[in-house]
Amino acid sequence: MMMKVVAQWAIGYGASRKRNIAMKNPLAGRTVLVTRTTEGNALESKKLRDLGASVVEIASIRVEPPSSWRKLDSALERLNDFDWIIFTSANGAKYFLERCSQKGKIDGLRKGDRKQKFACVGPGTKRSVEERGFTVEFLPKEFLTSSLGVELAHFSNLSGSRILLPRAERASQEIVSILEKAGAQVEEVLAYRTMTNEESRLPEDSLSKITDVTLTSPSTVEALAHAIDLKKLSSLHIKVHCIGPVTAKKAAELGLNIASIAKTHSIDGMLVEMVKH
C-alpha cells in the first residue's frame, strides 16, 4: 500500500515539476533562427534563451550611415525651424543624434530658442532617444509607422507645423502622406541605410535543426531570402513569427507561411505570441 502511495506521489510530483519547468522555459526544445544585425541578434537571443530556446544567429543585415549626409546636415543648421522631430526606428534616432553630436549641434537641440518635441514609433526607439538625455512627448498606442502619423495628428494640431523626419533610405512614404494631409510640412532626411549581408548564409544542413524563425522588418525578410532557401524553409514547416503586419506582408509576398504576428509590435510582443503559439 505504502509503495503504491509513494508511486502515485512520484507521478504527481514529476508532472508538477514538468509543468513548472514548462512555465519557466516555455520555449524549451525550440531552436530559433534570428536574422537581425549582430547587435540586434544579441539582444533578441538573450530574451529567447531566457525562455528556454536554443538560438541560431545570422547577421542578415547591417546598418550603415546614409550615402550622403547633405540633407541631414542642412536640417541641422535649421533645427529651430522644426516643431516636431519624428523617429520611426531606433536606428534613425541613433544616427541622427550621433550626427548632431559630431556636428556640434546636440547642445543647440537641447537648449534651442524653440524647443522641438520628439515623437517615436515604439518603446525601443523611445529608449534610444531617452538614453541620450531627451524627453519623448509622444508614443502611439499601436507601434506602427502609419499609426504614429495618424495618432500624432489626433494628439496635436499639426496644421502649419514643421516636421523633421530622419529615417532610412528607401522607406515607405505612407507616414509622409498622412502628416501632410494633417497640414504639416514634412522634411525627410536620410539618417542611415540598411544593407543585406550577402556573405551571411546558413549552412543547408543547419536548416533541419530550426523550428522557428523571427522576422523584425521587411529588410530582414529580404535579407533572409539571400541567406537561405525560402522554399526549403517552408517545406520543413518551420514556424515564421513576425513583429508586425508590414513585416508579415513582405514575408507572405515571398511565399512564407506566417505562424504568428505580434499584437504589440515589439520584440517582447513577438515573443509573447511565440509562447502562445
Could you give the CA distance from residue 244 to residue 52 in angstroms, rounded to a whole number? 23
* pLDDT attached to residue 111: 63
* pLDDT attached to residue 171: 86
* pLDDT attached to residue 163: 97
Beta-carbon contacts of 110 under 8 Å, excluding residues fewer than 6 positions away, are 133, 134
* pLDDT attached to residue 15: 41
Per-residue pLDDT of the chain (277 residues), as tens digits, is 433 433 343 344 344 444 444 467 899 999 999 999 999 999 999 999 999 999 999 999 999 999 999 999 999 999 989 999 999 999 999 999 999 999 999 887 876 555 789 999 999 999 999 999 999 999 999 999 999 999 999 999 999 999 999 999 888 899 999 999 999 999 999 999 999 888 788 877 788 899 999 999 999 999 999 888 898 888 999 999 999 999 999 999 999 999 999 999 999 999 999 999 7
C-beta of residue 143 within 8 angstroms of C-beta of residue 245 = no
* pLDDT attached to residue 90: 92
DSSP 88: S
C-beta of residue 66 within 8 angstroms of C-beta of residue 169 = yes
Q: Which domains does the chain show, CATH number per domain?
A: 27-60+200-276 (3.40.50.10090), 64-195 (3.40.50.10090)
Could you give the CA distance from residue 217 to residue 36 in angstroms, rounded to a whole number? 9
Could you give the CA distance from residue 35 to residue 241 in angstroms, rounded to a whole number? 12
C-beta of residue 148 within 8 angstroms of C-beta of residue 124 = no
C-beta of residue 174 within 8 angstroms of C-beta of residue 246 = no
C-beta of residue 177 within 8 angstroms of C-beta of residue 183 = no
Per-residue pLDDT of 115-160, as tens digits, reads 789 999 999 999 999 999 999 999 999 999 999 999 999 999 999 9
* pLDDT attached to residue 23: 61
* pLDDT attached to residue 203: 76
Angle at 233 between CA 227 and CA 237, to 5 degrees: 155
